[in-house]
Structure 1
Amino acid sequence: MAPGSIMPPGRSVASVLLHGLLCLQLVALAEIEMEGGSCMHFSVSPPAAPPEDADERRNYFRAMEAKDLFRHQQMIKMMGNGSGTGSGSSRRRQAKESSKLPEVMSATSMFELPMRSALNIAHVGMYLVSVRFGTPALPYNLVLDTANDLTWINCRLRRRKGKHYGRTMSVGAGDDGAAAKEARRKNWYRPAKSSSWRRIRCSQKECALLPYNTCQSPSKAESCSYYQQMQDGTLTMGIYGKEKATVTVSDGRMAKLPGLILGCSVLEAGGSVDAHDGVLSLGNGEMSFAVHAAKRFGQRFSFCLLSANSSRDASSYLTFGPNPAVMGPGTMETDIVYNVDVKPAYGPLVTGIFVGGERLDIPQEIWDAEKVVGGGVILDTSTSVTSLVPEAYAAVTSALDRHLSHLPRVYELDGFEYCYRWTFAGDGVDLAHNVTVPRLTVEMAGGARLEPEAKSVVMPEVVPGVACLAFRKLPRGGPGILGNVLMQEYIWEIDHGKGKMRFRKDKCNTHHLHNSKGGEVYNNNNGNSSSTVVHRVN
């Protein structure tokens, strides 16, 4: 690997000052001492499987394609703001300066948040995390988003003339009223009922530094407002404030995460707004929830995405802090590359793709965002199907098709080019039809290798009796996207402190616990209260 091909995290003087300004009020209400083995767990339901009915399955995957396409279109718009221009060194410097790495307060503690998937067919492939915000602390179900830096919650905000706008319309109300009924089930955040909410004003310096800002003047009375169009086509408009999140550690005590930048959304639009209460940002921006939370928990977080075919009794976690479950047999490690075109995003440097052990002929420069505008690869938990630029897509799909081309082709499925009349069980071997799905390997800098299961390479039963290759071609350039279908049944750790990404195969359906000695992973079955036992919060 050539020197400088991986961009390590760094902090310029400007980034330090900005981070210090944003974290000025970062003082806990109820500070507690985190023991070396302390952790927090919430149980989570797995992703919803596609419907049984043939027409519903078809609509399910059409919705998946539409969601991914909208998301990519918005990424292209983000790149069009000039962030991808300049020399390799200047773009590398810009990305480094956008990486706000907080100071470590506790390198040994961790907490976890619950994740589940949205069940509505219009919101396929979305993982939801339950987080408690406000005082008193109330739970909200937020979309897990590794390529976003704005955390927002749908908000009931009283209109204040000259200060900010309030919610003026019902959200998602359709002609049949079904969407409105769904919207009424939301957990609305009400700033007036939270004693820890602090609105940010247009006159404050930190408002000017926040992205998506729509303030018209530096008024002391006017609230710092924002407008953001999400990568999946969803838009949100509201005001910025500071709020606290509440977490529970393994011995039952409560911990506060104050000073979080929160968007109080008074208008949401798009296909997904009725399925959740907002978005939890795990991106690389200075106001990202992940960056602030990692400040207290070792500058790292991890998550494990259950397969859509998992049982309803399975559980998975979003964990902040050192997670011993990450380190085990087969753990891979590679450097994090902070994307210079889509600022909140990050991913690995891909060095090659193999199918059946054969290295594919793909130009190396398309994997490097420092050399090619729209190059590189990002991790995106809000995109379902892995998306590749044309050069990589053609090579991957052609190689896989050579192993499946004797099966009858199906051409009428929207969003999928390579589909086959084949009842695929997902295990990769079907002797009756003379089919073995070849091993797909994504090689990364440092020798790390991602080798997804066959059902993440070929999607079974897109409609009954039809399987499709789990890749789509990016119509307007990169960056390439590793979607959550390919990421399933792996545990992923993002370690901003060391600029490392770690992952290993994991079914994601067990409680991974951190004992007082550290490093040991085992399942809990007894319910005793100690630093090594799961503490459930419903």
Structure 2
Amino acid sequence: MQTTMLSVSTFFHLILLLFSLADLLNAAAAADYLKLPLLHKNPFSSPSQALSSDTHRLSLLFSALRRRPNPTLKSPLISGASTGSGQYFVDLRIGTPPQSLLLVADTGSDLVWVKCSACRNCSHHPPSSAFLPRHSSSFSPFHCFDPHCRLLPHAPPHLCNHTRLHSPCRFLYTYADGSTSSGFFSKETTTLKTLSGSETRLKDLSFGCGFRISGPSVSGAQFNGARGVMGLGRGPISFSTQLGRRFGNKFSYCLMDYTLSPPPTSYLMIGGGLRSLPVTNATKISYTPLLINPLSPTFYYIAVKSITVDGVKLPINPTVWAIDEQGNGGTVVDSGTTLTYLAEEAYKEVLKAVRQRVKLPAAAELTPGFDLCVNVSKESQRPSLPRVRFRVGNGAVFAPPARNYFLETVEGVMCLAIRAVEGGNGFSVIGNLMQQGFLLEFDKEASRLGFSRRGCGLP
């Protein structure tokens, strides 16, 4: 009974949120879809940076699990590889006049938040280092009694001052390693470019204006270069949900290979997606259902049915992929994790099969953090490596190229970029390296994930 009441309350608040976005949706009515560049930089300076970034990332994802309480916009995604973060960044312009900030594009969280500064005279302030709400005529924090405030996953009700007429809605976001972001939950105008290149101003985007940011997860090397997070999860306050109704409740992105030179541009699209592909590519689109974990509703789960290596199905018990009553297990597609992590039992079988079938000589020594490395220094062309395939729900097959799961850690050495989920808890994760070269569409309306190797490089 209590669960039912909570669901009704959450639904009621979501309806209020959607109505409050009427101006936003009307302003975007002329746009076919929103397309934002995902800005991409250079590869990791060392493989240890990728592993360090993922260690923090998985800690955040697993702790979130334990905490559980038609048109399109287009934006470029920037890889954070050169900073050691392994993230893809979106350049978001907020405020009036617009201020440009680089945010981590994160399918594993809901809250949109930016680093804010309260200084009055900010002539000394480095450009794009923080959002300056005093310099924006459209900035407005929510009142702590506003229904939007109740949509926060961990809203601290004790911070609401019952005696003050203008007590702002405060948010406090805490990560597993003790890192925190806190400040005012607010609304602001954003300025985005459509596919045609014209600008669209969207009103009343709900976001966290963080005045106090501390800890390695939000200020360390893996976060270097970013000024906040663009949450793209399934919750009511995520960026994709807030813009969702006008744009078909879907978003998509294509992560291009960051080892190419010059690096091609990746894109995040709100709306559009796979339906915008040429008709000739329609048969190349595969779909698999998106699953919902009631104890962790933010994440995008898919059902992995089996794994093959060079066409041979591995002897992995199907229960390895199941979500248990405590919310553990399952497989999450996450843009914020670099490598792919599999349940330990599944990982052991993959490692064994790949090791048996790889034809290249072993590297003189293993790169720290990896269990299988091969010497490719004598390969004049792309090395021949075992083919790993994932059969997922609805009979679809996710068949990435070997460069999506073999990473060049030093010159002439490539290592298997799949790791085990240690400790027996948490869930398997399909990371952004494994996703490269695929156009992925997260269709929340139809509750399905579409993926295609065609159309990823289209403008």
Q: TM-score range by the shorter chain?
A: 0.7 to 0.9
1:498 counterpart = 2:452: no
Q: CA deviation at 1:120?
A: 3.7
1:469 counterpart = 2:416: yes
Partner of 2:342: 388
Write the deviation string for residues 463-516 of structure 1: whole angstroms up to 9, x where unpaired.
Answer: 1222110111111223100000100000000111111110011473331xxxxx
Q: CA deviation at 1:374?
A: 1.6
CA distance in 2, matches of 1:360, 1:407: 23
Say which structure is richer in strand: 2
1:122 counterpart = 2:67: no
Question: Partner amino acid for 2:17?
Answer: L
Partner of 1:448: 396
CA distance in 1, matches of 2:398, 2:258: 19
CA distance in 2, matches of 1:246, 1:320: 14
1:242 counterpart = 2:187: yes
CA distance in 2, matches of 1:340, 1:274: 33
Query: Structure 1 residues 121, 253: closer, same or farther in 2, change over 3 A?
Result: closer
Partner of 1:157: 118
8 Å contact kept, 1:45–1:117? yes
CA distance in 2, matches of 1:127, 1:136: 25
Partner of 1:303: 253
Partner of 1:23: 18
8 Å contact kept, 1:316–1:510? no
Query: Structure 1 residues 344, 364: closer, same or farther in 2, change over 3 A?
Result: same
1:144 counterpart = 2:105: yes
Q: CA deviation at 1:382?
A: 0.7
Say which structure is richer in helix: 2
C-alpha RMSD of matched pairs (Å): 2.9
Q: CA deviation at 1:79?
A: 2.7
Look up the SS of the partner of 1:206 in the other structure: helix
Structure ranking higher on relative contact order (CA contacts 8 Å, 6+ apart): 1
Look up the SS of the partner of 1:399 in the other structure: helix
8 Å contact kept, 1:134–1:244? yes
CA distance in 1, matches of 2:237, 2:448: 21
CA distance in 1, matches of 2:401, 2:144: 50
Partner of 2:170: 225
8 Å contact kept, 2:37–2:90? no
Question: Partner amino acid for 2:417?
Answer: A
Partner of 2:32: 38
TM-score (norm 2): 0.87
CA distance in 2, matches of 1:185, 1:426: 45
Look up the SS of the partner of 2:422 in the other structure: coil
8 Å contact kept, 2:94–2:100? yes
CA distance in 1, matches of 2:47, 2:148: 42
One of 229, 237, 259 as aligned partner of 2:204: 259
One of 339, 358, 367 as aligned partner of 1:404: 358
Partner of 1:423: 377
Query: Structure 1 residues 30, 305: closer, same or farther in 2, change over 3 A?
Result: closer
Unaligned runs of 5+ residues in structure 2 are: 1-5
Q: CA deviation at 1:131?
A: 1.6
Query: Structure 1 residues 32, 217: closer, same or farther in 2, change over 3 A?
Result: closer
Partner of 1:49: 43
8 Å contact kept, 2:36–2:76? yes
- Percent identity for Structure 1 against Structure 2: 26
8 Å contact kept, 2:35–2:270? no
Write the deviation string for residues 19-56 of structure 1: whole angstroms up to 9, x where unpaired.
Answer: 02333421327945746x83454555544234xxxxxx
1:131 counterpart = 2:79: no
CA distance in 1, matches of 2:301, 2:256: 20
Alignment of 1:182-221 (within 5 A): 184=126, 186-219=128-161, 220=164, 221=166
Look up the SS of the partner of 1:423 in the other structure: coil
1:112 counterpart = 2:74: yes
More off after superposition, 342-351 vs 301-310: 342-351
Partner of 1:458: 406
CA distance in 2, matches of 1:352, 1:29: 43
Look up the SS of the partner of 1:65 in the other structure: helix
More off after superposition, 296-305 vs 403-412: 403-412
Look up the SS of the partner of 1:354 in the other structure: strand
Look up the SS of the partner of 1:78 in the other structure: helix
Unaligned runs of 5+ residues in structure 1 are: 1-10, 51-56, 84-106, 160-166, 168-180, 430-435, 512-538
Look up the SS of the partner of 1:28 in the other structure: helix
